[in-house]
Amino acid sequence: MPAWIRTAAARFFLPTVLALSFAVQAVGALLASVPLLMASTVVGLATDIALHRWQRNTATALGKLHATVLVRQAVRDLLLVAGLIHIVGQDHETKYLGLVCGLLLFYALHSACRALAILVHRTRTLPVVSRNIDASPLLLSPAPPALLMRSSGQRLLMFGLPSTAGLLTTAATGSARWAAAGIALSAAVAVVAIGMLLLRLLPGRRPVTSEQALEWFEAWLAEYQPTVGMYFSGAASSAYQANMWLGPLAQLEGRPLIVLRERFMVRKIASTDIPIVCLPKVADLMRLEHSTLKMLIHPSNSGKTSQVLRIPTIKHAFVNHGESDKLSSCNPYAKAYDNVWVAGPAGRQRYALADVGIDDRDVTEIGRPQLDAIEPYTGAPAGPYTTVLYAPTWEGWDGNPGNTSIIEAGENIVRSLLADPGVRLLYKPHPLTGSVDPRAGAANARIQEMIPAANALRAAAHPDERPAPSAAAELAYRTAELVRLTTSSFRASADVAERMLLQTVPEPGRAAAVATATTAWEAAYWASFPAWEHRVVVGAQPTVYACFNVADLLVSDVSSVISDYLASEKPYAVANTSGLPEQDFRDTFPTVRAGAVLAPDASGIPALLESVRHPEKDVYAEARSELKLHLLGPSDPPSVVRLNEAARALCAAADEHWAGMAVRSLSAIPRQLDAGSTLDSKHVRN
């Protein structure tokens, strides 16, 4: 069965079962069938709970159709009552009218509980979210239980279980006492929840006010006195763009700071010792104008970037999250920044050729400090298998067929690689694959099906080539250790949902501990499966750089993956799905000139593998060294040194700007005094 059919079936299975349960429940009520009524109610309730647990997007979509969980639960209970009336006879209608009134009271209590949860939520929502900052002066209290604060639908289903159970028991026994007791218990639970939430609204139990939180933040800024920082805004899937700059930012001279705009992003930032603040409102963001912050680096462009660029006291550098020959790497928006930092001469030339208004004097070559961990090329594959990393990029926003190879060539490339008995394939798709073009998502799903099938065939041929059982135990231990280190910084999930400050006490050294644990985890990961086994690598771990270090060959598209991989000087190939002849393709995209070019049919894979296994047949070795220098700049001075020099220069420009502002302000004082005005404290920098 095709992957898209299975995906659609999985998506619509629960809603279909839920709809059928209501239909069967109605039939059971009309026919006065106790077994039918009980079975359909249990199935419907279980499906509703599963829907809220595993398919929240579908539950939200049902709500938009006015089939909210409240409506579904009310219909379910009323069908039960209607069935009871049919089962016990018409003379009991008055008795069961009381049960209906009890259910209505329970629904009213649920609505009151929801209203209070929203009110508590608002009182606990602070204007600043932080990590790695001591927020103990705010005396934050623990959040209420997650069931009370997060999903009102889940709360209704859980609180309504006693009433549903009571109604079902009454249907089986004929005694209305069970239904009354169940409804009373559900109402009592709702009353307890209301009481717990009301306690949170007492004056002594409320968190600090927004103004108090901002006063604390400004006091912390004055004490910490940040000088350099990183600004980031984006969707949850784009967090990797900021995470790749955490290490370089931590090595900058001065006191670094990370500034975010989306509350959810605070948890998406990887482990770091750098203080993190999230300021969702523009008015609160503007408080940075009077801080000691001199410069911010920007790994990406976003709609909210223009807001921080309005602060005249801070200089801004666009560093991008990767460099490639795509037009998106030369966005005209870069004109808004004071400086554009590129890896090497290729980046400078790219902006000059793009002619998007970037003055060459504003471009600074800093190298790629993230690539220090990439191991250099050592020659032919050491073992019996050639490890090939296929890392296609995503389809992009402009509909260009040459953006990604996954649609036209992906399956051919993978099929050809899997056909070679000496290849071990690592498939790492871009996180955004399929987000724009469904064909890319479908191709990605089919490729991920091909790899387990190939592994099944190899397992039969290599029954004795398995890692020791201790390897799996080691991976489990390292995984648990890494999870502990990366999650213990945060409060309980309810606090995260309530948007409180996530970490009240900083823990210096955590980033180093996480880095050590990550290295140990990666070693355990690669040792946990046989050398012949193909892998689909998705998620944050292992990183693409970790895959670089175990790969003998990279197959990719025109993207920053090629530029970063060149740090190793290992062989690579680029898939050409642009429709251009090979020479035109090489001329258009300079990153291609030191690698093999693959046609969409992947017919060049055998010759490519031969050149990797026999380095004397590798005709691109010298070209890779030259291209590495062109793309990433010289190795001396190191990239970290060049990054620091660029940061110092931008900080000096900020100081010079401040000095000029001070001179202009002082020269205006006599005119202000003559006019009878007073000197505003904003004329003097903190």
Q: Is the pLDDT of residue 487 over 80?
A: no
* Residues 325 and 393: beta-carbon distance below 8 Å: no
Q: How does pLDDT run across 59-79, given as a tens digit for each residue?
A: 888 888 888 888 999 999 989
Structural domain contains residue 230 = yes
Q: Is the pLDDT of residue 530 over 50?
A: yes
Q: How does pLDDT run across 519-528, given as a tens digit for each residue?
A: 999 999 999 9
* Domain-ending residue, one of 632, 652, 681: 632
Strand 276-278's sheet: what is its strand order?
Answer: 129-131, 276-278, 256-260, 228-232, 295-298, 315-318, 339-342, 363-365
Structural domain contains residue 660 = no
Structural domain contains residue 43 = yes
Predicted local confidence at residue 135, as pLDDT: 82
Q: Is the pLDDT of residue 506 over 90?
A: no
Q: Is the pLDDT of residue 495 over 50?
A: no
User: pTM of the entire structure?
Assistant: 0.77
Claim to verify: residue 294 and residue 229 sit in the same structural domain: yes
What would the two tokens of residue 270 be? 């990887």
Instruction: Note the maximum CA span of the chain.
Output: 96
Predicted local confidence at residue 684, as pLDDT: 44
Q: How does pLDDT run across 247-256, given as a tens digit for each residue?
A: 899 989 889 9
Give the domain extent around 326.
225-367
DSSP-assigned letters across all residues of 573-630:
EEE--SS--HHHHHHH-GGGTTSEEE-TT-TTHHHHHHHHHSGGG-TTHHHHHHHHHH
What would the two tokens of residue 277 be? 């603040």
User: What is the pLDDT confidence band of residue 588, given thresholds at 50, 70 and 90?
Assistant: confident
* Domain-ending residue, one of 512, 530, 548: 530
Rounded Cα distance between 214 and 176, Å, is: 57
Half-sphere exposure in the Cβ direction for 50 (13 Å, CA): 15
Claim to verify: residue 501 and residue 402 sit in the same structural domain: no
Structural domain contains residue 659 = no
Q: How does pLDDT run across 148-181, given as a tens digit for each residue?
A: 887 778 888 899 999 999 999 988 888 888 989 9
Predicted local confidence at residue 207, as pLDDT: 77
Claim to verify: residue 554 and residue 605 sit in the same structural domain: yes
Claim to verify: residue 243 and residue 392 sit in the same structural domain: no
Predicted local confidence at residue 505, as pLDDT: 54
Query: What's the rounded mean pLDDT across residues 475-491?
Result: 76
Predicted local confidence at residue 608, as pLDDT: 94
For residue 363, the domain's CATH number is 3.40.50.11720
Predicted local confidence at residue 327, as pLDDT: 60
DSSP label of 228: E
Predicted local confidence at residue 23, as pLDDT: 93
Q: Give 584's contacts (C-beta < 8 A, 6+ positions apart).
A: none
Predicted local confidence at residue 5, as pLDDT: 57
For residue 559, the domain's CATH number is 3.40.50.2000
* Residues 613 and 380: beta-carbon distance below 8 Å: yes
Half-sphere exposure in the Cβ direction for 374 (13 Å, CA): 23
User: What is the pLDDT confidence band of residue 58, given thresholds at 50, 70 and 90?
Assistant: confident
Quote the Cα angle for 677-680-681, to 5°.
Answer: 155
Mean pLDDT of the chain: 85
Quote the Cα angle for 49-55-59, to 5°.
Answer: 75
Q: Is the pLDDT of residue 680 over 70?
A: no
Count up the domains in the chain and report the number: 4
User: Helix, strand, or coil here: 664?
Assistant: helix
DSSP label of 150: S
Structural domain contains residue 83 = yes
Dump strand ranges (E) for 433-520: none
Tell me the CA end-to-end span of the chain in Å, nearest whole number.
66
Predicted local confidence at residue 10, as pLDDT: 65
Closest CA relative to residue 279, chosen from 291, 269, 265: 265
Neighbours of 171 (CB within 10 A): 25
Q: Is the pLDDT of residue 503 over 60?
A: no
- Burial pattern 88-99, b for ≥16 Cβ within 10 A else e, equals beeeeeeebeeb
Which range of 95-109, 215-229, 668-682 scores highest in mean pLDDT? It is: 215-229
Rounded Cα distance between 106 and 189, Å, is: 10
Query: What's the rounded mean pLDDT across residues 133-139?
Result: 81
Claim to verify: residue 488 and residue 573 sit in the same structural domain: no
* Residues 128 and 288: beta-carbon distance below 8 Å: no
Between the alpha carbon of residue 599 and those of residues 102, 156, 413, the distances in Å are 70, 57, 9
Predicted local confidence at residue 681, as pLDDT: 41
Strand partners, 391: 556
Q: Is the pLDDT of residue 492 over 50?
A: no
Query: What's the rounded mean pLDDT across residues 302-330?
Result: 83
Claim to verify: residue 549 and residue 568 sit in the same structural domain: yes
Q: Is the pLDDT of residue 499 over 70?
A: no
Structural domain contains residue 27 = yes
Claim to verify: residue 118 and residue 250 sit in the same structural domain: no
Inter-helix orientation angle 3-31/34-54, to 10°:
150
Structural domain contains residue 209 = no
Claim to verify: residue 44 and residue 189 sit in the same structural domain: yes
Say what percent of the chain tops pLDDT 90.
41
Q: Which of 75-89, 176-190, 305-319 has the lowest mean pLDDT?
A: 75-89
Q: Which of 12-16, 188-192, 640-644 has the lowest mean pLDDT?
A: 12-16
Q: Is the pLDDT of residue 305 over 80?
A: yes
Claim to verify: residue 326 and residue 279 sit in the same structural domain: yes
Rounded Cα distance between 40 and 37, Å, is: 5
* Residues 245 and 319: beta-carbon distance below 8 Å: yes
DSSP-assigned letters across all residues of 67-136:
--HHHHHHHHHHHHHHHHHHHH-GGGHHHHHHHHHHHHHHHHHHHHHHHHHHHHHHHH--S-EEESS--G
Claim to verify: residue 310 and residue 423 sit in the same structural domain: no
* Domain-ending residue, one of 150, 184, 200: 200
Q: How does pLDDT run across 186-215, given as a tens digit for each residue?
A: 999 999 999 999 988 888 777 788 898 899
Structural domain contains residue 409 = yes
Predicted local confidence at residue 122, as pLDDT: 84
User: What is the pLDDT confidence band of residue 358, given thresholds at 50, 70 and 90?
Assistant: confident
Claim to verify: residue 445 and residue 547 sit in the same structural domain: yes
Closest CA relative to residue 530, chosen from 477, 596, 459: 459
Rg (CA), the chain: 31
Predicted local confidence at residue 225, as pLDDT: 94
Claim to verify: residue 337 and residue 445 sit in the same structural domain: no
